[in-house]
């Protein structure tokens, strides 16, 4: 599936993704500044997260609670040096929890990723436009 969107369309895109993706592990690929965190923030808002949503660049993972009282994890592996760092933090336990896991920079931990995941590639197509390619 491929979707083109602007920032104004982000809430509708987030709702559509939530409805169409059943797999709990979502892998977000894209260059720096492509909008990975922005898209994840909107998805979390659409899930009913009321906490302050920010990138877990330094903490590696943020935990949120959605409107159904379900835990959602947001990972950012940009700053890790080795997969061992993710393994040592117990990333596999998060993945095995059955909870939604939104992962930025998954290519940094490619050997630890579950087979059952959805890949979301974000490409900058213009100053205010993006293209999502979703591979289930």
Distance, in Å, from the CA atom of 22 to the CA atom of 24, rounded to the nearest integer, reads 6
Domain layout of the chain by residue ranges: 2-135
Q: Pairing state of beta strands 118-124 and 25-29?
A: parallel
CA–CA separation, 97 and 7 (whole Å): 32
Q: What is the mean pLDDT, run by run of 10 residues, along the chain of 136 residues?
A: 92 96 96 94 96 81 95 95 93 96 96 95 94 93
Q: Which residues pair with 26 in a beta bridge?
A: 102, 118
Q: How much is the pLDDT for 104? A: 96
49 sits in which H/E element: none
If one looks up domain 2-135 in CATH, what number appears? Answer: 3.40.50.300
Q: What is the pTM of this model?
A: 0.93
- Alpha helices (runs of H) in 21-133, residue ranges in sequence order: 36-46, 83-88, 91-96
């Amino acid at each position: 599936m491929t979707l083109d969107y602007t920032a104004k369309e982000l809430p509708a895109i987030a709702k559509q993704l939530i409805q169409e993706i059943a797999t709990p592990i979502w892998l977000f690929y894209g260059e720096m500044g492509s909008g990975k965190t922005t898209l994840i923030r909107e998805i979390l808002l659409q899930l009913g997260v009321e906490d302050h949503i920010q990138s877990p660049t330094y903490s590696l993972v943020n935990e949120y609670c959605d409107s159904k009282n379900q835990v959602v994890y947001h990972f950012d592996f940009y700053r890790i040096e080795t997969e061992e760092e993710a393994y040592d933090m117990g990333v596999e336990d998060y993945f095995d929890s059955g909870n939604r896991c939104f992962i930025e920079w998954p290519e940094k931990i490619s050997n630890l990723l579950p087979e059952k995941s959805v890949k979301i590639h974000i490409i900058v197509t213009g100053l205010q436009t993006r293209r999502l390619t979703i591979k289930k």
